[in-house]
Amino acid sequence: MSKLYGSLVNRMLEGRILNEDKLIHTGDDINMYYWSDVHCYYVTAVENQKRIRVKEYNVCADRSKQNGMGHQNWLYFKTLKEMNEYLNKYHPGEYPTDVKDNDEETWVFRYGGWWEETAKGKYAKLDGKITVGKNIKNYYYDWSF
């Protein structure tokens, strides 16, 4: 276990337990909880435990299941090209595969919360509550809004 500095209160505010397995690693999943929706991200790089790079998953309903538009039937793709290739199996030619992928974002933990680095030295507070872990993808879209 690496040595951590600062008070126990600081560690609790960061949302981490003092175990090595609770640290953020490349490949971990992130759920961002908004008022009613949940968006899913994955960690592409960890500079340190307070500065990470993430990308948002591309999510679509599982077309192989009958009535696939349910909250339990989401498929997660790391690239938009992979998702569109999957969708073209069910709707040939409707989804272009030469598309630009989601941009990578840099998140920084500061002032007790996660912030997105928008430009060098500029930050925007992330609105949702964040959970990080292995295989915790929990996408949710509220159809009523």
Q: What is the pLDDT of residue 49?
A: 92
C-alpha–C-alpha distance, residues 142 and 145, integer Å: 6
Instruction: State yes or no: pLDDT of 42 exceeds 80.
Output: yes
Which DSSP helix (H) or strand (E) runs through 13? helix 8-13
- Contact in structure between 107 and 54 (CB atoms under 8 Å): yes
Give the pLDDT confidence of 45-83 residue by residue, as tens digits.
Answer: 999 999 999 999 999 888 877 765 666 678 999 999 999
Write out the residue range of the structural domain in which residue 76 sits.
Answer: 8-133
**Residue 3 domain-assigned?**
no
Query: How many structural domains compose the chain?
Result: 1
C-alpha–C-alpha distance, residues 17 and 37, integer Å: 26
**Residue 144 domain-assigned?**
no
Three-state DSSP at 56 gives strand
Least confident window among 10-14, 20-24, 103-107:
10-14
- Find all residues with CB under 8 Å of 1, minimum gap 6, and list them: 18, 19, 20
Q: What is the pLDDT of residue 18?
A: 46
**Residue 138 domain-assigned?**
no
